[in-house]
A = this chain, B = another copy of it.
Amino acid sequence: MRKRKVAVLGATGTVGQRFIGLLQGHPWFELTALTTSDAKAGKRYGDVTAWHWAGGMPATVAGMKLQPTTADVDAEICFSALPGDAAEQWEAALAKTGHHVFSNVKTHRMDEDVPLLIAEVNAEHMHALDVQRRNRGWSGSIVTNGNCSAIGFALAAAPLQQTFGIELAVVTTMQAISGAGYPGVASLEKKFLGTWDGKRFVNAGFEFSAHCNRVAVRDGHTETVSLRLRGGPSPDLVKDAMREFRGRPQELKLPTAPERPIHVLEGRDRPQPILDRDTERGMAAVVGRVREDPAMGIKYVVLTHNTIRGAAGASVLNAELLAAEGCLGS
């Protein structure tokens, strides 16, 4: 496969940096452009960026010149970590001019013809792109991924929805400092776990309630989950369903895909952010403390790396999926 040129939009921020890190040495994608707000455009990336991640800024990136974000970015694929207003201005414009935009931004998440994609969970939502291109007359496309906490919940809950069916979910998040906020509504989860019927998205039908909290953790969102599942399966059946879960990324052996999307731990004091967030290079959801819940049926804790599985890594995996499935042109 030839290498596709990719750009990171909003390259100097926390998530932009994660994109850059994940794209180093990527077998399919070649990082050719970094964009930013006008104020920093024209400067060397290394001169204006405080690098957040261990290991230091890749040397090849430090010397790249930052471009202003425009509709003419020289790249087939654009990974967007733009601020909200810049996303509003440029993502659709870029899709119109033929770019495939993979966005972490909320602007288009709930649009009727924009996939809100978790590659293992709802790969068939990609077919909405046909409708999207037809509706909008675009030669490119926009695919979004959910925010960090929603991805963590949905990834771990997907096999339960598929195997048993969720009736009621009560979730409390304990979000790391490096992550963004959580939406006030439960719509993301229901779109994630819903279906594409060929014409439209049909949300999953369960009831959902979330409490969101910020805690003193650097990276890694933890969520406590209480579920009422159809048929009242035992904790062992729930764990089996999670452990056996595989999706298209695993079938296609995509470069960024974790071998197993969900790791289930048995220790009473796991998962923990520092110990477990980097499981499968930060791309797996780590579940622990699966047990009977006297009131709801099942409860467990799920941890995901909020800026990898919950943000940049999810987008890169989505792009790999669509490239492998032939949705991005040849």
Binding site for B on A (CB under 8 A): 50-56, 168-170, 172, 174, 186, 207-209, 211, 213, 215-218, 222, 224, 226, 269, 274-275, 278, 293-296, 299, 301
Q: How many copies does the complex hold?
A: 4
- Please determine whether A54 and B296 come into contact, CB atoms closer than 8 angstroms: no
- Which residues of B sit under 8 angstroms from A278, Cβ to Cβ? 54-55
- Which residues of B sit under 8 angstroms from A208, Cβ to Cβ? 294-295
- Please determine whether B294 and A209 come into contact, CB atoms closer than 8 angstroms: yes
Contact (A295, B216) CB under 8 Å given A224-B172, A226-B170, A275-B54: no
- Which residues of B sit under 8 angstroms from A222, Cβ to Cβ? 213
- Which residues of B sit under 8 angstroms from A172, Cβ to Cβ? 172, 211, 224
- Please determine whether A226 and B207 come into contact, CB atoms closer than 8 angstroms: no
- Give the residue name and chain of the B residue nearest to A50 (CB): B269
Name A174's contact: one of B51, B174, B294, B299 (CB within 8 Å): B174
- Please determine whether A56 and B207 come into contact, CB atoms closer than 8 angstroms: no
- 10 residue pairs bridging A and B, Cβ less than 8 Å apart: A52-B275, A55-B278, A174-B174, A207-B294, A208-B294, A209-B294, A209-B295, A209-B299, A215-B215, A215-B216
- Complex: A211 Cα to B173 Cα, angstroms: 11
The 4 closest A-B CB pairs, nearest first, are: A211-B224, A207-B295, A172-B172, A216-B216
Contact (A174, B215) CB under 8 Å given A208-B295, A226-B209: yes
- Complex: A275 Cα to B53 Cα, angstroms: 6
- Complex: A217 Cα to B207 Cα, angstroms: 32
Nearest CB on B from A40, distance (A): 17
Nearest CB on B from A303, distance (A): 11
Nearest CB on B from A284, distance (A): 12
- Which residues of B sit under 8 angstroms from A224, Cβ to Cβ? 172, 211, 213
Nearest CB on B from A12, distance (A): 15
- Please determine whether B296 and A209 come into contact, CB atoms closer than 8 angstroms: yes
- Which residues of B sit under 8 angstroms from A295, Cβ to Cβ? 168-170, 207-209
- Give the residue name and chain of the B residue nearest to A289 (CB): B211
Contact (A274, B174) CB under 8 Å given A209-B293, A295-B207: no
- Which residues of B sit under 8 angstroms from A274, Cβ to Cβ? 54, 218
- Which residues of B sit under 8 angstroms from A169, Cβ to Cβ? 295
- Complex: A222 Cα to B211 Cα, angstroms: 12
Name A51's contact: one of B50, B213, B275, B299 (CB within 8 Å): B275
